[in-house]
Amino acid sequence: MTTEMTAKKTKPAEITEDNLVKTATGRKKKADSASNADNTGNTEKAEKAEKPKKGAKTAPEIWSYSEEGIDASIDDKVKERIHNELDRNFLVEAVPGSGKTYNLVGRMVSLVLNGRPAEGIAAITFTRKAAEELRGRFRERVESRLVDAAGAEKALLEKALVTIEDGYVGTIHGFCARILREYPVEARLDPSFSEIEEGDEEYFFKRTWAEMFSEHPEMLKPFADHEVDPEADRIIRGLRAYCRYPDIDFSCSDPLPPPDPKDLLQTVADCWRDIRSLDPRPAIVENGVDAKAEEVMKHWFNLEKLAARLQRFNGKTTWTPDEIRDIWRAMRYLADPKLSDGGVGIDDGGLFKQYNDDIKAVCKEFREAYSYYVFPQIQPVLDKIRQRERDWRNQRGYVSYLDLLSRTVELLRDNPHVRRAVQKRYPVLMIDEFQDTDPLQAEMAFLLTADDHEVKDWLQARPKPGSLFLVGDPKQSVYRFRRADIQIYHQAGRHLQATGGEIISLQQNRRSRLGICGWVNRAFAPAFDAQRTVKRGTFDQAGFMAMLPLRTCGSAPAVAALPIPTEIHGGATRIMADYDSEKFTDIITAMLGRSFAGIKEGQPLCPDDFLILSRKNDLLATYALRLDAAGVPVSLSGGGKTLAARLQQDFRPLYWVLRALVDGSAAIVWGVLVGPLFGCSDEEIYEYCRTGNRLILTAPVEGESTVARLLLKLKLFRKWLQEMPPGTAFRRIVAALHYDAWLQGRDYGLLKTTFLRHVEKLFDKMLFSQANDVLGSWVKHWPVDQSIDEPGRVRLMTMHSAKGLEAPVVLMGIAKRPQFKDGEVMLAARDEDLRPPPSQHNPPRRRVQTGRSRPGVDDQGDGEEVRDVRPGQGA
């Protein structure tokens, strides 16, 4: 059952819906009842509370909705088709709470009862957590049905129960890994390849990049020509972004002429001529330079430097390519000027602001035009980097998540016999959360279910009847930053229809109460519809499908909008997160071990019955640390920079101990001995070395001093390293150091020991030196998305990570002051909307062939597309 709770000043143990109403009371207005004829459900226009007078205490705004006209049978016919029409391919578009997982599992059970083997079903969902839940539900439904089964039905269910694990229920990456391990020769991979976690990809890319440009110095020429450091973080991020699209051809057929720098040169010259007499630097120096004044002076120095470097180009009407490049290099000194008087009281007559805006505008225009001009020149180098970085990684036995997808698509597309064999093993493919599909995933799905094993273009593939079942909600497509493409979703839907399949809809939200459904419909329908009909093409923007409610509101309000105090200044987000974390901890500790009507069928609540969601990754650590201090175990997905800083501090000593075992040099051994795990003093080390002893692990150890005993311990660790598997050696070293106990004695130790388990996994799957290199990379830049999920713990994650999950009690910390900006809201932008206006320049085109290379409730009873996009933008 769903329990919607908001942290109030009432005691946590007394939180009920009635108490929520009492604490959220202000003025309540009855909503005017109005029926909606355009399939927007029972959304009612709610009359808001009157706007309070200035200075008066702000009361919560209350919305209520009519409960007339609720129909529990709206989706019955669609559900019947899902469960019974097993020889038809479907794309089910389902609103939140409509029972996507329930009906997907129901179709799986129906397949079993109709003689389809459970081991022949491949069910793919978005996250590992959601996959575990889906697998558990499938088993539970089979077991539940088996209780009253008899005869042939019983035999089918018993066989399914035994063979469920022989099928596949998991993530798309796990499915691809399974196929690649069965056909490593055809896939050109090491059969024992290791999968790189998302947080480790940056480390591997930097290793690859460093080796590539040391072996192929010609790759550095474009960077040297533009005076750009090839190892700068910004360059690494850009290269990684380019490499994330191995299936896209970024070639430019019509290179552009070089940009005209006349406006840029004229604006900078005019600016320096007009304002150099207003230079505040002498007055600032006379008054004393502080940090703020230093920042002001830096912008003036940069402007002066820019004007000096561009002066030699003034008066010219033509420029050579080398001169254009020199102008671009000079611009780096002042990309975003912030000229001011530094508080010394100079009357500039508005010139500072005018030239700040003018220079910023011309610099931006020139920089963008130059990028389009130079891209065709560096694009071959980028393509070479993209190909070699994947090959470098794969040849050493490592594959990234993207490698899994791209290698599997290549394997299926180029090897008909492999496709035939995989299709025979998994004749039914079911994909949940399809709205967040990667283009490669869509290609794989249609190739794997095609009736012709020779076809190579997924848009020419015709899925076999009943072989493909897709579930999604286009308005919940939120993973564009991970290559999800709403246009691919719509394209796949159209292709499914064109090949005999259907798109059907589940419209009734069986989870949320009527008032919530009405409020969401009322808030979001206009935004989606306006963007779709006015600004967007039919298939570029997700359409809005209203949620039709099932559950009534009772006496509780639909929504209580609690105003954020206006007196919170500065770090308001952090202050509100601290407040939320305290209240959430009080609520959870009060509810643990107790039973509540309507929650978990009255069973006592355990830590893993709670799910805390946050909009921001960094705020998760705030909740986790508060719960940890209260002795409540947590499972944290993410945590952001706050947690990363704490982990870096306490995992750094362990890294250097392990580094000393691999390196063994005197400097590192000295650092380990004086570090927090060993605690020697410089005087003790000096006395040990004064007699001729050396601080290297290959040298003999003499004497019985503290330093000698610790060196012998390190030599023993090194012996374990040479004789044992990396994972075993790591665990023995950690135990001998009492590192686990040391962590628990530190601040938030329970949380840190949880992450120690994740570090162990590195040493189980890599060579010791490689695993320690990754740990060293974490110590420098701890990945903020490491996911630890163990039973018996309160789960904390961002809303993105919670896709497909449920929990008896969900607490969501908003912790964000509302921000209102003019202009439209971009819900799902087309590439065209991100292009510079045609009046600026005509950027080159590239040809893209798409798809190439909640809170829980009880189970319900009952051809090729060619587009013009721009270099540097996602597909």
Cβ atoms of residues 467 and 431 within 8 Å? no
Calpha distance 646→778 (Å, rounded):
12
Calpha distance 376→386 (Å, rounded):
15
Mean pLDDT of all residues in 106-126: 93
Residue type, 458: W
**pLDDT of amino acid 554:** 66
* Residue bearing the bigger pLDDT, 350 or 121: 121
**pLDDT of amino acid 572:** 61
CATH of 76-189+401-506, one of 3.40.109.10, 3.20.20.70, 3.40.50.300, 3.40.50.720: 3.40.50.300
Closest CA to 403 of 203, 196, 202, 209: 196
Burial environment of residue 869 by CB neighbours within 10 A (0 to 12, 13 to 18, 19 or more): buried
Burial environment of residue 14 by CB neighbours within 10 A (0 to 12, 13 to 18, 19 or more): exposed
**pLDDT of amino acid 563:** 58
Residue type, 235: I
Crossing angle of the two packed helices 321-331 and 351-395, in degrees rounded to 10: 110
Domain boundaries, given as residue ranges, for the chain: 16-70+513-562, 76-189+401-506, 201-396, 565-639+792-817, 640-783
Crossing angle of the two packed helices 291-310 and 321-331, in degrees rounded to 10: 170
Whether 565-639+792-817 and 76-189+401-506 are alike in CATH topology: the answer is yes
Return the beta strands (E) in 593-684 as ranges: 610-614, 634-636
Say whether pLDDT at 557 is over 80: no
Calpha distance 396→389 (Å, rounded):
11
Cβ atoms of residues 163 and 119 within 8 Å? yes
- Structure confidence at residue 831 as a pLDDT band (50, 70, 90): very low
Using a CB cutoff of 8 Å and minimum separation of 24, what contacts does 694-703 make? 694/666, 695/666, 695/669, 695/670, 696/664, 696/665, 696/666, 696/669, 697/660, 697/661, 697/664, 697/669, 698/664
Parallel, antiparallel, or unpaired for β 502-506 and 548-551?
unpaired
Say whether pLDDT at 826 is over 50: no
Domain 640-783: CATH class, spelled out: mainly alpha
- At the second CATH level, the architecture of 565-639+792-817 is 3-Layer(aba) Sandwich (3.40)
The tens digit of pLDDT for each residue in 504-539 reads 999 898 888 888 888 888 888 888 777 664 444 444
The H or E element containing residue 179 is: helix 172-182
Percent of the chain that is helix, strand, coil (3-state, to 5)? 50, 10, 40
Backbone angles phi, psi at 791, to 5 degrees: -65, 160
Closest CA to 436 of 469, 473, 491: 473
Closest CA to 652 of 635, 672, 681, 625: 672
Say whether pLDDT at 443 is over 90: yes
**pLDDT of amino acid 556:** 62
The H or E element containing residue 294 is: helix 291-310
Burial environment of residue 863 by CB neighbours within 10 A (0 to 12, 13 to 18, 19 or more): exposed
Calpha distance 749→751 (Å, rounded):
5
- Structure confidence at residue 452 as a pLDDT band (50, 70, 90): very high
Say whether pLDDT at 568 is over 70: no
**pLDDT of amino acid 122:** 94
The tens digit of pLDDT for each residue in 340-363 reads 877 777 877 788 888 888 888 888
Q: What is the mean pLDDT of the chain?
A: 76
Q: Can you give the pTM of this predicted structure?
A: 0.64
Say whether pLDDT at 45 is over 60: no
Using a CB cutoff of 8 Å and minimum separation of 24, what contacts does 378-382 make? 378/222, 379/250, 379/251, 379/252, 379/871, 381/219, 381/221, 381/222, 382/239, 382/242, 382/250
Say whether pLDDT at 466 is over 90: yes
